[in-house]
Amino acid sequence: MTDTNKTASLTVPGIAEPIELAMHSGTLGPDVIDVSKLVGKGLFTYDPGFVSTAACDSDLTYIDGDNGVLLHGGYPIEQLAEHSNYLELCYLLLNGELPTKQQAEEFETTITNHTMVHEQLAQFFRGFRRDAHPMAIMCGVVGALSAFYHDSLDIDEEHHRSVTAHRLIAKMPTLAAMSYKYSQGQPFMYPRNDLGYAANFLYMMFGTPCENYEPNPIIAKAMDRIFLLHADHEQNASTSTVRLAGSTGANPFACVAAGIAALWGPSHGGANEAVLNMLAEIGDESRIDEYVAKAKDKDDPFRLMGFGHRVYKNYDPRAKVMQQTCHEVLSELGVEDSPTLKMAQRLEQIALEDPYFVERKLYPNVDFYSGIILKAIGIPEELFTVIFATGRTPGWIAQWNEMISGSYKIGRPRQLYRGPAKRDYTPMAKR
């Protein structure tokens, strides 16, 4: 962040002189007005939903929502999706630069060596009902990881933070697959170190001890790309939750568990599951108009899932890559004429032409096509948000690490109080 020579001037009724507010510039994006000193004048700013508020500085990810741009470390997501891979992006988010060949190999080895989870964690799973939602399980087991790593929870130690980042990135697919296996009543599969990150995840999901299972390389590549497209998205709700929890000095496993809980909601990561539920509910192309009308009806709470975004007022660049990946996967699996895909494409086309969606700049987001791919791969809907959580883990931990390794304050917003003014306690007999 650099201070600009510019200031903003705020005139407040009852304060004689205008208040001069410093302005700061980032590398890209709008300048920000520094309101942190306003409290000294007895004033707060008011911005529910943080729509106009930059809550931190960050070097990791940049989004230009009006033009549909997403950069990680300056690199456009389209280029990363085409030329890079998930672990390379994890390295970039954690280290700020793309790895050399040697660094990439060492990083992959490190992650591979951390994929197994403590055997005691399997006992932890057995405490859940078999029909528990896998996101409920993930909130619990990821938080529980902190109980296994007392040796590396000193957040002021750079090495501890680094090993925790590696553990989280490595163990998330193992835990995700375990939550699926548990729901199926099948044995947990230990990770295989000869497989890449995404292929190993598919193996732990779909392999059984009874027969050989070799992941399809095209599906593994698509899975890797799904993880990559979710890796980070600057200060979204779950990442902001991780930062807020982390600002208290809480341990990183607990912070990421808080992020998983925030991700679960249908307005955020839960939308990928909600898209498939919505398409199933629509059931047939002939009913699309009826559902588009419901989405536009202010008296109906129904929204088109997978449409709209707080920041993108243009096509989500991740959704474009996801759409292309969707065609590749469905063609590989020989199900390109899937009725669900056809319905999704028709719905997209109708919504993109409808003045309601055009005026509000509501475009498909990353979740619109991801569910269709995941379903085609054989991943059950309840697991979709778990896949999102797995992919988002490097973003959460890199953002947490960036905050902890810099200067930060406990996150503590203020409020506009609208409750009763001070009054005396009324004894029960007089109420």
Cβ closest to ligand ACO, residue 167 vs residue 392: 392
Report in angstroms how near the CB of residue 331 gets to ligand ACO at its nearest: 25
- Is residue 311 a contact partner of residue 65, using CB atoms and an 8 Å limit? yes
Cβ closest to ligand ACO, residue 125 vs residue 264: 264
* Sequence-ordered list of residues with C-beta below 8 angstroms from that of 283, at least 6 positions apart, any chain: none
Report in angstroms how near the CB of residue 301 gets to ligand ACO at its nearest: 10
The Cα-based distances of 139 to 125, 257, 398 in angstroms read 12, 5, 19
Report in angstroms how near the CB of residue 46 gets to ligand ACO at its nearest: 16
Closest to 304 measured CA to CA, from 324, 280, 275: 275
Q: Residue 189 in 3-state DSSP?
A: coil
Residue 102, exposed/middle/buried by CB under 10 A (0-12, 13-18, 19+)?
Answer: exposed
| Element holding 393 (H helix, E strand) | helix 384-405
Angle of CA points 128, 383, 242, to nearest 5°: 80
- Report how far residue 412's alpha carbon sits from residue 167's, in angstroms, rounded to the nearest whole number: 29
What DSSP designation does 268 have?
T
299 classed as catalytic: no
Cβ closest to ligand ACO, residue 114 vs residue 225: 225
**Out of 24, 118, 166, 268, which one is annotated catalytic?**
268
- Report how far residue 308's alpha carbon sits from residue 301's, in angstroms, rounded to the nearest whole number: 15
What DSSP designation does 259 have?
H
Cβ closest to ligand ACO, residue 189 vs residue 288: 288
83 classed as catalytic: no
Residues that bind ligand ACO (CB under 6 A): 267-269, 271, 295, 303-310, 360, 362, 365-367
Residue 61's beta-bridge partner residues?
72
Cβ closest to ligand ACO, residue 160 vs residue 303: 303
367 classed as catalytic: yes
The Cα-based distances of 337 to 207, 275, 341 in angstroms read 27, 18, 7
**Out of 114, 133, 309, 354, which one is annotated catalytic?**
309
Cβ closest to ligand ACO, residue 42 vs residue 355: 355
21: left (phi over 0), alpha (psi -120 to 50) or beta: beta
Report in angstroms how near the CB of residue 233 gets to ligand ACO at its nearest: 7
Query: Between β-strands 69-72 and 19-25, what pairing exists: parallel, antiparallel or unpaired?
Result: unpaired
Report in angstroms how near the CB of residue 294 gets to ligand ACO at its nearest: 9
Report in angstroms how near the CB of residue 309 gets to ligand ACO at its nearest: 5
Which are the catalytic amino acids? 268, 309, 367
